[in-house]
Structure 1
Amino acid sequence: MLIDRFWKEMESVHSAMLSVGDARHVPMSPYARKEDRAIWFITAQGTALVEAITSGQSDASLIVTGESNIHARIEGSASLVQDRAKLEELWNPVASSWFDGIDDPDIRLIRLVPTEAEVWLTSGGMGFAFELVKSKLTGKQPDTGEHFSVTF
């Protein structure tokens, strides 16, 4: 099932560009959780993303590209969530670099519930390079991988 493939591939994503409402896309660390049907982000009070959600905006866009075999445009709805157990589950050395510990009062959790995604799965950098070379030798277009859309 394509939705299962989406969640499996998203597990390997460690950086993406998130936008909410009229807040511009910014780099964030996504934490995809199939069991929650959500992608989580740890951010701080006062950021443009938090301010957009606080002002009632919820339309979110996540752009994934570059580091793994998945490239995607994900649309959905974002909300702020206060959930200490979820924060403890997600907490990691990357998050701790931005805050004065897990009890920092500025920490905010954003929950992105996807509504649709357009996904490209590739064989990675070396696989793509091979396809480019092969296309030059055979005169055929390179196989750039699988492409599909998902509605949640």
Structure 2
Amino acid sequence: MPTKTLADLAKSMKDIDIAMISTHTTGGEIAGRPMSNNGQVEYDGTSYYFTYDKSRTVADIRKNAKVSLAFQGTKAFLVAVEGKALLIQDKIEMKKHWTPDLDRWFKDGIDSEGLVMIQVDATRIHYWDGEDDGEVKL
């Protein structure tokens, strides 16, 4: 029986800077890559990441939207998220999740050519916090 709620997890995840997103490649392999976890956005089961439309991540998602996210915090706090990814190129939607820290990676900010926002809607969240572990279904 899980002892943590989604709100509890969100509070702990806020301090995690990098998440690993894993996708399914054309050959059936699993490919993982680090993405900046936007800690300034309150986690509610949906995550947002920015990349370019020509990236392998985007190509993989176009073929198979099932993805996973991995987060590692301090003192044995880990979170594994299973979810479905959606690719968004609408600047109005992207602005809602953009932060100035992203300007480091995208020289023209929200106007960077080929910018894509990956929205991951979680379906299951597993967590480990020391000896406490559980699952939150969404």
How is 1:40-55 mapped onto 2 (pairs within 5 angstroms)? 40-54=48-62
2:134 equivalent to 1:151: no
Distance 1:11 1:83, change over 3 A: farther
Larger mean CA deviation between 56-65 and 93-102 belongs to 93-102
Picking from 108, 132, 144, the partner of 2:116 is: 108
Equivalent AA in structure 1 for residue 48 of structure 2: W
Structure 2 residues not aligned, in runs of 5+: none
Distance (whole Å) between structure 2 residues aligned to residue 79 and residue 68 of structure 1:
32
Equivalent AA in structure 1 for residue 113 of structure 2: P
Structure with larger Rg: 1
Distance (whole Å) between structure 2 residues aligned to residue 82 and residue 11 of structure 1:
25
- Considering fraction of residues, name the structure with more strand: 2
State the superposition RMSD in angstroms: 2.2
Distance 1:34 1:116, change over 3 A: same
Picking from 60, 63, 88, the partner of 2:70 is: 63
How is 1:66-145 mapped onto 2 (pairs within 5 angstroms)? 66=73, 70-101=77-108, 102-121=110-129, 144-145=130-131
- Considering fraction of residues, name the structure with more helix: 1
Structure 1 residues not aligned, in runs of 5+: 122-143
Aligned residues: 128
Greater relative contact order (CA < 8 Å, ≥ 6 in sequence): 2
Listed one character per residue, the Cα deviations across residues 88-141 of structure 1 (whole Å, up to 9, x for unaligned) are 2332343211222220122110000011111123xxxxxxxxxxxxxxxxxxxx
Report what 1:141 is aligned to.
none
Task: Report if the CA contact (8 A) 1:17-1:62 is conserved.
Answer: yes
TM-score, length basis structure 2: 0.78
Distance 1:50 1:24, change over 3 A: same
